[in-house]
Structure 1
Amino acid sequence: MAEHQPAFGRTQAGARPARAAVEPHGLWHRPDWMNGMADVLLLGASVAIGYALMRLALAMPLFGFREIVVVSPLSQVTTAQLEFAARSGLKGNFFSVSLDEARAAFEKLPWVRRAEVRRVWPATLEVRLEEHVATAYWRAGDNGDTRLVNQQGEVFIAASNARMPVFSGPEGSAQQVLQRYREFAALLAPINAVPATLNFSARQAWQLRLEDGLVIELGREQGNTPLTDRLSRFVSVWPQARTRIAAPVSVADLRYPAGFAVQLVAASSNKAKQ
């Protein structure tokens, strides 16, 4: 009797094949990740909306400036100039205004050397201005352009009719000329001589003209006979020399190592050597 052997690789009639359970993959099938992303997007949207609302609120006229207060005394800058600077430099309100742009607008005014601005709650802009203090007129080259020199030796553009000395020299030499002027003026003070002009040539030679019209040729700086030594020697003997000459002098030439020469007004071609 033959034994019945099971048939491999077959299924019983009518039976369904077995299938293994497969876990779903991908971000969309991870509820914890999806909830986290939703929270992040919601937070970002809330921040963006809040920021937009804040910008809208800050731009409202409610926060506009009501007054501009200048806390420094002014002698040259006018109210009209301040109003012009405020109109051109104040863009925005108390929160949105650029203080750098406001400061630059005030510093463009002719007599303003430096400006400081700050907000004062709730609606005030405080302005502190440092004005130029002019000490001389400045003429550069032969173009006839006249500017002003302040106490720091800085050249600036402004209008003035004050009585001041006149400087001239190469561009960028105003501070050096101012320093020399102060030295020369101090040396001339004992004989009550006041410099009216000081010229510094491109060859680095110095020329003074006094208020009484006398021109003093100082020449170039020399190691063995500095300019101040030559001028000091002139000042020490000039009162007596002027008396002895007994004639109007137009030029005093100090470019000699051990003395000076003078040129008379009546005889411009003759020189008397001291």
Structure 2
Amino acid sequence: MWHKPQLLTAIADLLVLVASAALLAAGAVWLVRVPSLPVRQVQFVEPLAHTRRGEIEQVLPSALRGNFFSLDLEAVRVALEQLPWVRKVQVRRVWPATLEIAVEEHRPQARWGEGRAELVNSHGEVFAALMPDAEMARLPLLDGPAGTSREVMERFAQFSSLFARVSQRPVELVLSPRLAWQLRLENGMRIEIGRENARSAVDARLSRFIEVYPQTVGNLPVRPAVVDLRYPNGFAMKVVGEGKGK
């Protein structure tokens, strides 16, 4: 073996690699355990609109265990995502002693149900949170069976676009347990759209109503309290307690 320099060189290289790996492993253990590398700063990427500092201070300290290398980023993420207004969190280390946190807050689009303290965000997801009464009052009211929040929000946007053609603004949309739609406008008028046996049927009813709205409802001296679109070839209106067919 001593007369084979190539073999000796290979053995030497192998020993160097083993020694280097051992040093790296020892260094990694030291970095994880050494107490002199603490996280000194927690930095949020963007200002938070709804989440308060006090809420963060309640959940974050218990998750900040360990030093810069041993800190459990997943624990930090989970702790912050428990807060009412927080939808999603991303956490990363920034050398030498900073924890950078990017928080995506819920963006409320509507209230969900009456008196539930629940809201619908821009993704059509229901979440529980509180807002000032004045801000809550400006949001439309949506409701429906469990799991339908995204569909109700999408339909509300579609119906709002339709009624914008006649300068009316929907403020409430309810999908009943029997899957019937009921819409209320800002002027107080309630519109019974009916069940959605086929999506095209609901679209056809509303489009027909919007088309004749200026010449019918728009010309009445008294605004109808209720308009019922659940007719195959027309609609009915209820004015001051009386029914009137159209």
- TM bin, normalised by shorter chain, reads 0.7 to 0.9
Structure 1: distance between partners of 2:212 and 2:221: 14
The answer to whether the Cα contact below 8 Å between 1:230 and 1:254 also exists between their aligned partners in 2 is: yes
SS in 1 for 2:54: helix
Match of 1:36 in 2: none
1:154 matched to 2:125? The reply is yes
| Aligned residues between the structures | 220
Q: TM-score, normalised by structure 1?
A: 0.74
Residue 193, structure 1, aligned to residue 168, structure 2? yes
Partner of 1:178: 153
Q: Percent identity?
A: 41
Task: Give the Cα–Cα distance (whole angstroms) in 2 for the partners of residues 247 and 150 of structure 1.
Answer: 36
Say if 1:61 and 1:273 are closer, same or farther in 2 by CA, change over 3 A: same
Query: Secondary structure of the equivalent of 2:177?
Result: coil
Question: What is the distance in 2 between the residues matched to 1:123 and 1:83?
Answer: 19
8 Å CA contact 1:139–1:166 kept in 2: the answer is yes
User: What TM-score, normalized by structure 2, do the two folds share?
Assistant: 0.82
Segments of structure 2 that go 5 or more residues without pairing to the other structure are 1-17
What's the counterpart of residue 8 of structure 2? none
Q: 1:124 aligns with which of 98, 106, 121?
A: 98
Q: State the partner residue of 2:243.
A: 271
Corresponding letter in the other structure for 1:133: R
Equivalent in the alignment of 1:64:
38
- Cα shift at 1:208: 0.3
State whether residues 39 and 67 of structure 2, in contact with CA within 8 Å, keep that contact through their aligned partners in structure 1.
yes
State the Cα distance separating 1:76 from its structure 2 match.
Answer: 1.4
Among 85, 92, 101, the residue aligned to 2:59: 85
Shift of the 213–224 alpha-carbon distance from structure 1 to 2, 3 Å rule, reads closer
Partner of 2:78, secondary structure, is: helix
After TM superposition, the structure 1 stretch with the greater mean CA deviation from structure 2, 78-87 or 148-157, is 78-87
For residues 147-201 of structure 1, give each alpha carbon's deviation from its aligned partner in whole angstroms, at most 9, with x where no partner exists: 0100110011111132100111111110010011011001000112111111001
1:139 aligns with 2:106: no
The residue correspondences of 1:1-274 to structure 2 (distance < 5 A) are 55=29, 58-139=32-113, 144-161=115-132, 162=135, 163-223=138-198, 226-264=201-239, 266=240, 268=241, 270-274=242-246
CA drift of 1:55 comes to 4.7
Matches of 1:223 and 1:136, distance apart in 2: 26
User: What's the Cα RMSD here?
Assistant: 2.2
Cα distance between partner residues in 2 of 1:68 and 1:220: 52
Unaligned runs of 5+ in 1: 1-42
